[in-house]
Amino acid sequence: MNYNIKNVATYPKICYYILHYILGATLVAPLILIWVGSENQPLIIKRVASPPIIYTKINNYCKDSYISKVISESKYPYTLAAIAKAESDYRPQIVGDNGTSFGLYQIRPKHWGAVPDTIEEQTKKAEQILDKLIWEHGYRKALVKWNGSGDGARQYAKNVLRIIQQIRSI
């Protein structure tokens, strides 16, 4: 079947709003729509660098430009910035929970496998964990599950949401 998508590409604002509605603001922000070549070529959705505003907000809160850059280019920049603040205060080499949690996001190898050494790899691992938790439990419950269960974990999730709001309001 041959679809004519020329009209779709002619109206990039409509495409943006449709994607915004379907994917949500945090996923559409790093996307740009590009119309290439003739009318027989498809509309391409290409990921580009995160908007500088995300980096700026995270860096104003984190105060470490390298960590801010890595987190701002992640799939969940505000959420991972808040988790990193709550878990390690942005210290990637920290060991917690009596030697059972490691790194920027305090990942437990017992549950999630080896914790990488680099900030980039720790962030990728955190994205994978968050993807799994969101898929299984939804966003808010995923924040609870990140920390465990019970009242302490629910309070932790509220704290992460509060940190997200603080970062976004900068």
**Residue extents of the structural domains in the chain:** 6-47, 52-169
- Using DSSP's 3-state secondary structure scheme, residue 166 falls into helix
Residue 170 binned pLDDT confidence (cut-offs 50, 70, 90): confident
Topology of domain 52-169, per CATH? Lysozyme (1.10.530)
pLDDT at 163: 97
**Considering only CA atoms, which of 91, 5, 93 is closest in space to residue 41?**
5
pLDDT at 50 over 60: no
Residue 38 binned pLDDT confidence (cut-offs 50, 70, 90): very low
Q: pTM (2 decimals)?
A: 0.70
Whole-angstrom Cα distance, residue 63 to residue 35?
A: 38
Whole-angstrom Cα distance, residue 109 to residue 83?
A: 17
pLDDT at 5 over 60: no
pLDDT at 47: 52
pLDDT at 52: 80
pLDDT at 112 over 50: yes
State the chain's mean pLDDT as an integer.
80
Whole-angstrom Cα distance, residue 100 to residue 107?
A: 8
For the purposes of burial, counting CB atoms within 10 Å of the CB of 4, is it exposed (0-12), middle (13-18) or buried (19 or more)?
Answer: exposed
Please give the single-letter amino acid code of residue 49. A
| Average confidence (pLDDT) over 53-79 | 93
pLDDT at 37: 45
pLDDT at 39 over 80: no
